[in-house]
Amino acid sequence: GARRRVMGAANALFGEHGFTAVSMQQIANAAQITKATLYHHFRSKEDLFAAVVLEATAQSKDDIAKAIAEGGTPDEQLARAAMHVFARTRSDFGRLMTDVHEQMVPELRNRILSEQAMPWELFREVFEEAELKCGLPTGHTELAISMFIGMVWGQIWMRKIEVSDLPLDETLAATIVNVLFSGLRDTFAPAPSIP
């Protein structure tokens, strides 16, 4: 129906031009409805933008879940998840998330981010499996997840500000996981017992 057309039009326009450059009239025109009908479905441009971002992040979460569900070792699952995040940021999703950070009032930004981006509970399962199968130390799961997410987004950010031009590819994804796993093992390894 009309709401679905609005969401499609808004997603395309926000993704291509960014939040500030797009007007509600442009969205109404693209969805082939009146501006009054548009405001019947969405109170404001911010509400519409939030709906678009939440739909995009739900899709991203599903895609990460699929990447993990493909199986393999925990490190392979995490590298695939990182690759998915890399790919998404090169798409319109990257622009949407930049606008969330730069254009949204803090309350809306926090709501969007808390409901979205990184499926913490999916990563927790993979890291717990890595503790069993890859010799990762136990008791540091939350730290490991936050470091993984930070490393993935850090690499994306380094390209955004043009500090790095290394490709966001399988090699980088695997390197992030290897560095993280090795570092966790070395840092939290049990002290050698003195004979």
Q: Which single residue is written with the structure tokens 């199968």? A: 133
pLDDT computed for residue 116 by the predictor: 61
Other CB atoms within a 10 A radius of the CB of residue 133 amount to 11
pLDDT computed for residue 58 by the predictor: 86
pLDDT computed for residue 148 by the predictor: 96
What is the rounded CA–CA span in Å between residue 155 and residue 172? 9
Q: Tell me: the pLDDT tens digits for 10-42?
A: 999 998 899 999 999 999 999 999 999 999 999
pLDDT computed for residue 127 by the predictor: 96
Other CB atoms within a 10 A radius of the CB of residue 191 amount to 5
Give 41: exposed, middle or buried? Use CB within 10 Å, 0-12, 13-18, 19+.
Answer: middle
pLDDT computed for residue 118 by the predictor: 63
pTM score? 0.78
CB 168 within 8 A of CB 159: yes
pLDDT computed for residue 30 by the predictor: 96
3-state secondary structure of 18: coil
User: Which positions of the chain have pLDDT values less than 70?
Assistant: 114-118
